[in-house]
Chain A
Amino acid sequence: MRDPLNKRFIRELRSGIGRYLVIFILIVISIGEVSGFLVADNSLIHAYEESFDKYNVEDGNFTSATKLTSQQKEKLEEEKIKVYEDFFTDQSTDTDTILRIYKDRKEVNTIDVLNGSKPVNENEIAIDRLYAQNNGLAVGDDISVGDDSWHITGLVALPDYSCLFQSNTDMIYDNTGFGVAIVSDKGWERVQDNNITYRYSWKYNTPPENETKEKEVADDLLKVMSENVLLSDYIPRYMSRAIQFTGEDFGKDRAMIQMVLYMIIVILAFIFGVMAKETINNESGAIGTLLSSGYKKGELLRHYLFLPVMITVIGAVVGNILGYTLLKDLNAKAYLESYSLTSYKTLWNAQALLQTTIIPAAIVLIINFIILRYSLSYSPLNFLRRDLSRKGGKRAMKLSHGTPIMSRFRKRIFAGNLGSYAVIIVGVLFSNVLLMFGFIMPSTLDNYNDRIYENMICKYTYVLKAPVETKSENAYKFTVHSLKTLGENGYISEDVSIYGVSDNDEFISIKDRDKIYTSKSYSDKYHVKEDDTIILKEKYEDKNYEFKVGGVIDYEGEIALFTGFDNANEIFGNEKGYFNGYHSDEEIRDIDDENIATIIDAKEMGKVSRQIDKSLRSIMYIICVFAVVLFVIIIYLLSRLIIEKSAKAISLSKILGYKDGEIGGLYVATTSIVVIAAILATTFISKYIVGLLYTEMLTKTMSGWLPFYVGPDVYVKMIVIGTVTYVIVALLELLKIKKMPMNMALKDAAL
């Protein structure tokens, strides 16, 4: 015979429809979003990984200052590689963007045409889909590049530019200001007089067995290349950010979003647990009767466990259906707005199903099992007597008789609901961390933009290809050498400029000219302080440098080291007096552009924040909305639970003659104090948690540094959002108290 208690499930659902529905919706949204994300992520990453073979992606590329001779090429190919020309030219467009034009590739890095067709005629061009989208260009449009006009025949994806980094050393990609394109052989003839970059791709004849081997082979190859080619760039595939960044970013988001889901499920599991515990308290007499009649505790445990687990499972199934349909495309769209990916197909993802169904259900099952097992561990007699306290229960907390009774009453309510308040505090903290995460990037970026000039050493930093003198006054020579960080412990390897500054340089002041100083950005990002040791490596040589830090210079614009002019030249083996740059507050006009490698000015610095802002603003907005929804739901469910738990006492207070306002002053005010205190405290705690996550995120995903900044407006917004949403919840609770019937105090709960 079926357990007659099962008939209660529908009734229990009906009686608590409000709270169960809210939890169900939260589960559906959370799991739907994560499922959609995982499916999109999996499908896209599969397409991304498949693209390496499908489009024969290079094993690396190098740039030579001159076109290779056939002897040079043969010499290199003796190293068991095949070298392919992959020349390009960077051209400015009429919309002030840079378009990198390649000749159509036939052998390596072949093109995926997403819309339209490949260029055939001399004036035809196919451009990157994402660049086109961001610049409002479509097939059939014309685009002015340099002195020429081109007709767009297709939108394409270049598999070696899944992420549009113009330079491998760029802090961040810029898919609006930089794009790639291909032209036909005839079209290439049209541009080949224009400043061609002699880039070559290589493929290994036999691919290295693993990543370690690949690095060894690449290091060996670099030695040979350095001896035979005038190298200006050398990027093995594993170091190419244009190729690798996308794949790395896919993986990182996956771990983070799953963590967020599991945190939400843990909080919901505790809410279920608190609800079930409260039901057991209310139904203790009936439970005692059932246990006395022969029911086993296991049967009752399964009974109370059923609804939470079933709601989670059904929520997970509905969430997954949404994930595979509606939300998959939304998530894929978010990726396709950041990355220039080749075509993809939706793939069934069994692992995602497991992660979004079995694991959430297991979390709810385990947490509720523990809570219920504890709650049902009393004897039948204890249940019958409604005495659900351990060994006679805790003594009453001592409170001074002199304290007003209402104040003591509130303290007792707080002490009696510690479990619920603990979940509220954790929930508020979690919501606030999410909320701050949502607010932090705009704040950090605005701060960065506001302080661009402050963050610059001077208005113009010129890095030269060779020492060239200037007549410009107030331009101070420096020598700069670029090294790389080791890229250990999951951190990315990034470029570090070591400046040797002139004695009279008015922009940078160095106490001891023989010591190495870090910029504040370096110190903040890598947690380096005075007397620490830094090890950096030469970019294209197997050589490491060890520096002892002499101090930190208050400069946040760059990941850089500073030392005296002569000391820098000595360290890097330059001739005495060698220089390759100027610091100046005025534009230097007497140096030819061809002698200038880079000019760092406000425009260049602004590029970084623009791209981060563009790529993160929408996701940050979604995080904020989600955080607010989560906040409201957690507070609503738990404060409602506290009211329901105290229903009899509230009803009794009404009978005794307490006014609704006075009762609200006891029950809602206690929760209000806890919630407001939690909002205030967690707003500031969130800063530290998000600060840690931020540093970790930037160290592992981005070169360069954006100083973490929480503007006063962020605190104000968070506190106002938290308080306003709570006020709405509190009003609902006051309404509930007002509607609570007095006869509840006269009733006895029955199963």
Chain B
Amino acid sequence: MFLSIKDLKKSFGDGDSKVEVLRGIDMEVNKGEFLCLLGPSGSGKSTLLNIIGGIDKPDEGSVVLNGDDMGKMSDKELTLYRRENLGYIFQMYNLIPNLTVRENIEVGAYLSKASLDVDTILKDIGLEKQQDKLPRHISGGQQQRTSIGRAVIKKPEILLCDEPTGALDYHTGKEILKLIETVNQKYKTTVIMVTHNEAIKRIADRTLTLKDGRIIDIFVNDNKISAEELEY
């Protein structure tokens, strides 16, 4: 199994204010799979994504990627893990504000010894003309495209997407989903996408629904449609 998660638990706070966010998550992800994590706010899906991304650490349980147990990794090893395996896409894009579109993508390329060509990526995401603009001078959709460019240029094994269309209008959101779908198909990148938009599960291979820190439903999509066909 490419990614295996067992009995994952995580809580925040102490005493009376303690909140159990993940109460024992078991899940597996195949290489090249497009997985959706669905659920309402506070269900624990973003925490789960952060733990997979090595940003946060679980209280209990294990996360094993390609046979490597993340729980046994030091901070330095976790940094290398993120550097070599992961690409991140955030709801609020999280671009570096004083770098241009091109430079934000190059920041991703710097992390890989065999990154993709920057100009090719710029063409793929349709931002060749905007490449010398700062993030504040382009639209939200273009910023999210840049964010995708930054994530995929280093050819990550897993693309972690946290509500990537949450701040975008319908059309722009759809464009972004198409782009993520392309990355998934073109580079065989495993995609794990957090969303609370139930419609999106129709473009994923599988959807896990979380509630109160537990997986309450697993939906295997036998009638997967393309992002182009998606309406929500």
Instruction: Give Cα distance in the complex from A655 to B109, angstroms.
Output: 14
B51-86 with Cβ < 8 A to chain A: 53, 55-56, 76, 79-84, 86
Counting chain B residues whose Cβ lies within 8 A of the other chain, the interface size class is 35 or more
Q: Which residue of the partner chain, among A395, A409, A415, A743, contacts B103 with CB atoms under 8 Å?
A: A409
**Closest Cβ of chain B: how far from A394's Cβ, in Å?**
9
A366-396 with Cβ < 8 A to chain B: 387, 389, 392-393, 395-396
Looking at the complex, which of B29-37, B88-96, B204-212, B224-232 is the stretch in contact with chain A?
B88-96
Q: Does B99 contact A (CB under 8 A)?
A: yes
> Chain B contacts of A742 at CB under 8 A?
55-56
Instruction: Give Cα distance in the complex from A88 to B50, angstroms.
Output: 92
Q: Does A73 contact B (CB under 8 A)?
A: no
Q: Are the C-beta atoms of A396 and B86 separated by less than 8 Å?
A: no
Q: Are the C-beta atoms of B137 and A652 separated by less than 8 Å?
A: no
> Chain B contacts of A412 at CB under 8 A?
98-99, 103
Interface string of A410-446 (1 = CB under 8 A from B): 0011011000000000000000000000000000000
Q: Are the C-beta atoms of A656 and B107 separated by less than 8 Å?
A: yes
Q: Are the C-beta atoms of A396 and B100 separated by less than 8 Å?
A: yes
Q: Which residue of the partner chain, among B55, B82, B92, B102, contacts A743 with CB atoms under 8 Å?
A: B55
Q: Does A13 contact B (CB under 8 A)?
A: no
Q: Which residue of the partner chain, among A401, A405, A653, contacts B109 with CB atoms under 8 Å?
A: A405
Find the A residue at minimum CB distance from B81: A657
**Closest Cβ of chain A: how far from B202's Cβ, in Å?**
27
Instruction: Give Cα distance in the complex from A282 to B107, angstroms.
Output: 23
**Closest Cβ of chain B: how far from A605's Cβ, in Å?**
60
Instruction: Give Cα distance in the complex from A7 to B108, angstroms.
Output: 42
Q: Are the C-beta atoms of B98 and A659 separated by less than 8 Å?
A: no
Find the A residue at minimum CB distance from B112: A657
Find the B residue at minimum CB distance from A388: B136
Give the total number of A-B pairs whose CB atoms are below 8 A apart.
82
B149-168 with Cβ < 8 A to chain A: 150, 162
Q: Which residue of the partner chain, among A396, A406, A649, A657, contacts B83 with CB atoms under 8 Å?
A: A657
Q: Are the C-beta atoms of A393 and B136 separated by less than 8 Å?
A: yes
Q: Are the C-beta atoms of B107 and A743 separated by less than 8 Å?
A: no
Q: Does B97 contact A (CB under 8 A)?
A: yes
> Chain B contacts of A653 at CB under 8 A?
96, 107
Q: Are the C-beta atoms of A652 and B96 separated by less than 8 Å?
A: yes
CB-CB under 8 A for A743 and B56, given A406-B110, A409-B107: yes
Q: Which residue of the partner chain, among A395, A405, A415, A648, contacts B107 with CB atoms under 8 Å?
A: A405
> Chain B contacts of A657 at CB under 8 A?
79-84, 86, 111
> Chain A contacts of B76 at CB under 8 A?
659
> Chain A contacts of B53 at CB under 8 A?
655
Q: Does B116 contact A (CB under 8 A)?
A: no
Q: Does A748 contact B (CB under 8 A)?
A: yes
Counting chain A residues whose Cβ lies within 8 A of the other chain, the interface size class is 20 to 34
Q: Which residue of the partner chain, among A395, A415, A649, A654, contacts B96 with CB atoms under 8 Å?
A: A649
**Closest Cβ of chain A: how far from B59's Cβ, in Å?**
16
Q: Does A5 contact B (CB under 8 A)?
A: no
Q: Are the C-beta atoms of A416 and B132 separated by less than 8 Å?
A: no
Instruction: Give Cα distance in the complex from A658 to B96, angstroms.
Output: 14
Q: Are the C-beta atoms of A656 and B97 separated by less than 8 Å?
A: no
Q: Are the C-beta atoms of A748 and B106 separated by less than 8 Å?
A: no
> Chain A contacts of B25 at CB under 8 A?
none
Instruction: Give Cα distance in the complex from A629 to B76, angstroms.
Output: 36
Find the B residue at minimum CB distance from A654: B79
Q: Are the C-beta atoms of A656 and B103 separated by less than 8 Å?
A: no
**Closest Cβ of chain A: how far from B216's Cβ, in Å?**
25
Instruction: Give Cα distance in the complex from A610 to B212, angstroms.
Output: 82
Q: Are the C-beta atoms of B94 and A745 separated by less than 8 Å?
A: yes
Instruction: Give Cα distance in the complex from A656 to B76, angstroms.
Output: 13
Interface string of A225-248 (1 = CB under 8 A from B): 000000000000000000000000
**Closest Cβ of chain A: how far from B209's Cβ, in Å?**
22
Q: Does B134 contact A (CB under 8 A)?
A: yes
Find the B residue at minimum CB distance from A413: B98
> Chain B contacts of A406 at CB under 8 A?
110
Q: Are the C-beta atoms of A405 and B80 separated by less than 8 Å?
A: no
Most chain A C-beta atoms within 10 Å of own C-beta, residue among B96, B99, B106, B134: B96
> Chain A contacts of B90 at CB under 8 A?
745-746
> Chain A contacts of B106 at CB under 8 A?
405, 408
Find the B residue at minimum CB distance from A659: B79
A192-230 with Cβ < 8 A to chain B: none
> Chain B contacts of A395 at CB under 8 A?
133-134, 137
Q: Does A398 contact B (CB under 8 A)?
A: yes
> Chain A contacts of B107 at CB under 8 A?
405, 409, 653, 656
Known: A393-B136, A654-B79. 20 other contacts (CB 8 A): A396-B100, A405-B109, A405-B110, A408-B103, A409-B103, A409-B107, A412-B98, A648-B94, A649-B97, A652-B94, A655-B88, A656-B82, A656-B108, A657-B79, A657-B80, A658-B83, A742-B56, A743-B50, A743-B55, A743-B56
Q: Which 3 residue pairs spanning A and B have beta carbons closest together?
A: A657-B83, A657-B82, A416-B98
Q: List 28 A-B contacts (CB under 8 A).
A: A387-B136, A389-B136, A392-B136, A393-B136, A395-B133, A395-B134, A396-B100, A396-B134, A398-B132, A405-B103, A405-B109, A409-B107, A413-B98, A416-B98, A655-B53, A655-B55, A656-B83, A656-B88, A656-B150, A657-B81, A657-B86, A657-B111, A658-B83, A658-B111, A659-B76, A659-B83, A743-B55, A746-B46
Which A residues fall within an 8 A CB radius of B? 387, 389, 392-393, 395-396, 398, 401, 405-406, 408-409, 412-413, 415-416, 648-649, 652-659, 742-743, 745-746, 748
